[in-house]
Chain A
Amino acid sequence: MGLARRILDPVANLLLLAAGVSIVLMMVIVVADAVARSLFNGTVPGSQELAANYFMVAVTFLPLACVQRDKSHVIIELFTGWMPPRAVASLDAVVYLACAAGTLVFCYATYFKALAMTRAGEYAVGTVIVTIWPTRWLVVAGALVLALYLLLNAAEEARAAILGRPAPGGARHGHALDVD
């Protein structure tokens, strides 16, 4: 499991970096387009398609794996608060495994869509034509790494349930932006 983490972490970080670059580019291009339009009677052609198809997709799907690594997908803990830690770990192992299965189905579906759109050379039509098929793969990539993290977390929780030691990152959800 340590090895799996050492392999997955850099991959997830790379996706996070790409998402970070995307959010900054989105800001720059959207502002550039608006300023060009209102002050110079020009536009940045294709800015909306870039923002929607490239940057929105990157910003939404690429960080999902990191969000899972930080256990930041929002859950409701109210009804399991009474359970001892090992029971919670067992439950989480099952839940993560099921989520991984679902995510892999999602991967499978989007993979074939991405393949078809790549072959067709998918494009969007705005004031200009923008090639968008590469963005289909962002969804597949984001979902695949998410699924791998879910599998890893399922294994970690299963081990925690058996050994009685908490899994890395703990069981409690939420990322560490605690204010003090």
Chain B
Amino acid sequence: MSSITVGILAIAILLLMLAVRVPIAFALASVSVVGMLVIRGPAAAMSVLAEQPYNFIAHWSMSAVPMFILMGTVAYHGGLTQSLYRAARLWLSSLPGGLAVASTAACAMFAAASGSSVATASAMGRIAIPEMLRYRYDPGLATGAVAAAGTLGSLIPPSILMVLYAIFAEVSVSQALVAGVIPGILSAIMFATMIAIRCKLNPALAPPVEEDVSWADRWAVLAQVWPLPVLVLAVIGSMYVGIFTATEAAAGGALMTFVIVALRRGLNWRVIKESVVESVNSTATILFIALGGFLLSRFMAVSGLPAYVAHVVDGMELHWLYIIIGASVVYIILGMFLDSIGIMLLTLPIMLPVLEAAHLNLIWFGVLVIKYLEIGLVTPPVGLNVFVIKSVVGKSVPLETIFKGVMWFIVTDIVTLIILISFPQISLLLPNIMK
């Protein structure tokens, strides 16, 4: 049996395991380890278990994930989120799906403080979803909006993924980072538009505000909304004046949240305990799945399957559009199963020479790659951001509901991608100004 056959078989078995209620992290990890056993033998399989999980987790850049999760739980339990959403509800009462639109905007803003999509989704999930559910928003819409808008975390700088792409492709880090800004904002606007249209057509998704809202009410509630925006601006500011690195900013954000909650006299033992316990449980749940995804990428490297798929694009001496379409198909397929960094590592060595031969702009392509990786975070069956949201909402919303809710956003993202592919200047405007 060729190793590629083993790879295909492994994917089939993975799907089967997921269908029969095997926890996702266990399914990913065991398929990878057993696959390694089949292709490279028992010593290799044991080696994977002994060495790689520890090295994957014990990594400095990983620390931003628990820190932003903590920031979100403290903000929620400390009561910083309710007043903001009450204000959003009153101010956006005439906008269909106003709170979901506001959440999308908040995600975009939080993305500017956070370097990763998982961190953005987990923090914003805790902040935004309970409030939307409180106002009887459709659970699929509420969770889908944050799972999808959380992916803006890697498109809007700072972005660990974009820096890695720039280093892999040897393009300017600063130009790559700034290239994500307009596409990120465009994605958010597209999401918001889709939400508003859907809620207009089907008001049941987002019950409109019934009572008459007076301007006095609106101004009154505004006085209480400052903590969260101030917090996010403080995190962004402290990064740009050089106090925190992008990784450290997460810890800074968490600590500042504690401080603001304390200043509002909201800090007590119960808040601390619930926030901390929930944070570590969420962190463990999410990173355990991320670890499984990482092991799957490693096993896939051994199987040669992703390279085999990526070679679809290789040797296509075609019109640039076909190359981009081929690459899109490859990234969407790999994104269904593999983790973001793994996909980049497995595909870029094959893709970059093809793109360079076709004289395609690598910064523009970087934006597209990040966008594809982001879509991969929400596509079934392995959609890390969806699992993040699931770990935040617990029993109240089934996983299938989140996946269904997210579908609308995936379709929207595909439209956004078509726009980004048709008009490279959207991505290249800011980098070109910088030059």
Which residues of A does B touch, CB under 8 Å?
16, 19-20, 22-24, 26-28, 30-31, 33-35, 38-39, 48, 51-53, 55-57, 59-64, 66-67, 70, 72-80, 88, 91-92, 95, 98-99, 102-103, 105-106, 109-110, 112-113, 132, 135-136, 139, 172-179
| B399 close to A78 (CB less than 8 A) | yes
Number of interface residues of B (CB under 8 A): 66
Binding site for A on B (CB under 8 A): 18-26, 29-30, 33, 46-47, 49-51, 53-54, 57-60, 62-63, 66-67, 70, 129-130, 133-134, 242-245, 248, 251-252, 254-255, 276-281, 283-285, 287-289, 291, 381, 387, 390-396, 398-400
Contact in complex: A52, B280 (CB < 8 Å): no
| Contact, CB under 8 Å: B58 / A76 | no
Given contacts A38-B243, A92-B21, A112-B50, contact A30 B287 (CB under 8 A): no
Q: Which residues of A contact B281 (CB under 8 A)?
A: 16, 63, 66-67, 70, 72, 175
CA distance A28 to B255 in the complex (A): 8
How many contacts A-B (CB < 8 Å)?
Answer: 204
Provide 5 A-B residue pairs closer than 8 Å at the C-beta atoms, listed in order of the A residue.
A22-B280, A57-B58, A72-B285, A76-B21, A95-B21
- From B18, B283, B291, B381, name the one whose CB has the most chain A CB atoms within 10 angstroms: B283
- Write the nearest CB–CB distance from B302 to chain A, whole angstroms: 18
Q: A57-B58, A109-B50, A174-B396 are in contact. List 9 more A-B contacts (CB 8 A).
A: A20-B277, A26-B251, A52-B60, A55-B63, A72-B391, A73-B285, A102-B30, A110-B53, A174-B390
List the A side residues contacting B57 at CB < 8 Å. 56-57, 60-61
With A27-B254, A177-B393 known to touch, is A102 a contact of B387 (CB < 8 Å)? Answer: no
Given contacts A20-B280, A95-B20, A136-B54, are A77 and B396 in contact (CB under 8 A)?
Answer: no
Q: How far is the CA of A35 from the CA of B66 in the complex (A)?
A: 20
Q: Given A67-B281, A75-B22, are A51 and B63 neighbors across the interface (CB < 8 Å)? A: yes
Contact of A172 among B49, B58, B395 (CB under 8 A): B395
B127 CB, min distance to chain A CBs, angstroms = 12
Say yes or no: B283 contacts A30, CB within 8 Å. no
Contacts of A113 in B (CB 8 A): 50-51, 54
**Would you call A76 and B24 a contact (CB within 8 A)?**
yes
Q: Which of A23, A24, A26, A33 gathers the greatest number of chain B CB atoms within 10 Å?
A: A23
Tell me the bound Cα distance from A78 to B19 in angstroms. Answer: 7
Is A34 within 8 A of B280, CB to CB? Answer: no
Is B255 a contact of A73 with CB atoms below 8 Å? no
In the bound complex, do residue A176 and residue B395 qualify as a contact, i.e. CB atoms below 8 Å apart?
A: yes
Chain A residues in 8 Å Cβ range of B390: 74, 174
Decide: A19 and B280 in contact? CB cutoff 8 A: yes
B287 to A60, Cβ gap below 8 A? yes
The complex places the Cα of A26 from the Cα of B245 at a distance, in Å, of 15
Residues in A whose Cβ lies below 8 Å from that of B279: 23
